[in-house]
Amino acid sequence: YRRGLQYMSQQEWEKAVTAFSKAIHLRPEEVELYVKRAEAFLQLCDYQSAALNLKKACSIAPPLAEHIELLALTYYRQGQSLFEQNCHLDALESFTRAVELQPRNRDYHMRSICCLAALGRYAECIRLLNKQLEEEQGNPETYVVRARLYDQLNKATLCYQDVLAALSLDPRHHEALGLRDKMMAKAEDAKDKAVNLAVQGELQDALKKICIAIENNPLSAQYYIFRGTVCKKLKDFSHAVDDFVRAMQLCNAEGSEDAPLHAEAENHLLLTYNDFAVHCYMKGFFQEGVLLLNKALQGDRSKKELYVNRGDCFFQLGELTFALADYQQAFDLDEEDWDIRARVAKLLDVLGLQAQQQRQYQQAECLFSEAVMKHPLLPQLYLHRARLRRLIQNITSAQEDALISILLNSKSDEV
């Protein structure tokens, strides 16, 4: 035994093995002899013999913690050797044994995961990493390993989340920064391709590319604005709204001071509400159009188009009072817009006809007159007022209105 220790100190491992073997032959129940012979085998990279000796030592007497630790290390080093020889399945078996002996040793777990990855068993890798993260969330290395696996599986969104998690724990983590830069470059390349495709009118392909960009960099407000614009052109208004809202949220995030970008996203959002409302109007969904325009007007009350479109929806719903209020608001914003004047005038004309049917002649005449003031070039306004004035025996004024109506539309049989 002493001779074996002397050989060990002189790094003469084979002679040490021989000496310890002789000692074991004389005293086969001595635990320390097996342990020392195992250490000598370990130095000779004879991991199988080292493991057998340590297992024998553990079987003779209750195993000591340091013996268990040494046996686990033996399996670990055996696994490393096999892994370097590309014997991944055998290496996995060795690492698994090391984990069984020391389940709290993170390095042993990670080597097992590397073997599984080399064998293409990614689902098992991720399952093991998930388990590790449930037990220990403060290690950036674990997030980086899982991020690399997600990158291998082309799961960009999950990869990015793990990269962020790693950087939140260690902002200077080299591998995490490298992965992030790689993903941002891939995102920018996909965005550039999306822009080119959109310019060529290939919107579906552009949408696919900008989705790839967002998966690789989901914190870019500009990407969401672009995708929202593409969705709007494709009449996918719901997703467009979601993207513009998300872009605004990102601009509002802590530390973000990109006010122009926020304003751009908000403007796109309001225009999308309007376009969505027009789409609903064309499909006959007038109530939905009103709700969308309400949202648009909450953000901007200076656009006459919003009031005009909501007024049109109210008109189709028979809510003439609300329609008139919206048309009037649009008129107040731009008194030179003759399309708005025509809407106001025609609606006043409708209200005038209703009042006339209800025998409210004075109110009807006021409504017809107000309609004429709003748009003096519509012949039917004069015709309707002429009929009313004839009815109330105001013949001279009725004749004047009839004459003006003829001058504006000489082909009218009604006049």
Distance from the Cα of residue 90 to its chain's centroid: 41
| Residue 258 pLDDT > 90 | no
Query: Residue 123 has what DSSP assignment?
Result: H
pLDDT tens digits, one per residue of 330-353: 999 999 999 999 999 999 999 999
| Residue 227 pLDDT > 80 | yes
Q: Closest Cα to residue 141, out of 173, 99, 102?
A: 173
Q: pLDDT: is 1 or 225 the higher one?
A: 225
| Residue 254 pLDDT > 80 | no
Q: How far is residue 194's CA from residue 227's CA, in Å, rounded to a whole number?
A: 9
| Residue 47 pLDDT > 80 | yes
What pLDDT sits at residue 328?
A: 96
Q: CA angle at residue 56 from 52 to 58, to 5 degrees?
A: 120
Percent of the chain with pLDDT strictly greater than 70:
98
pTM over 0.85: no
Q: How far is residue 367's CA from residue 220's CA, in Å, rounded to a whole number?
A: 54
pLDDT tens digits, one per residue of 194-207: 999 999 999 999 99
Q: How far is residue 168's CA from residue 179's CA, in Å, rounded to a whole number?
A: 14
**Residue 225 C-beta-side C-alpha neighbours within 13 Å:** 19
Q: CB-based contacts of 153: which residues, under 8 Å, 6+ apart?
A: 122
Continuous segment of H or E residues that includes residue 338: helix 338-357
Confidence of residue 256 (pLDDT cuts 50, 70, 90): low
What's the chain's average pLDDT? 92
Q: CB-based contacts of 284: which residues, under 8 Å, 6+ apart?
A: none
| Residue 76 pLDDT > 60 | yes
What pLDDT sits at residue 12?
A: 86
Q: How far is residue 160's CA from residue 220's CA, in Å, rounded to a whole number?
A: 12
Q: Which domains are delineated in the chain? A: 221-312 (1.25.40.10), 335-415 (1.25.40.10)
Q: Which amino acid is at 90?
A: D
Q: How far is residue 129's CA from residue 235's CA, in Å, rounded to a whole number?
A: 42
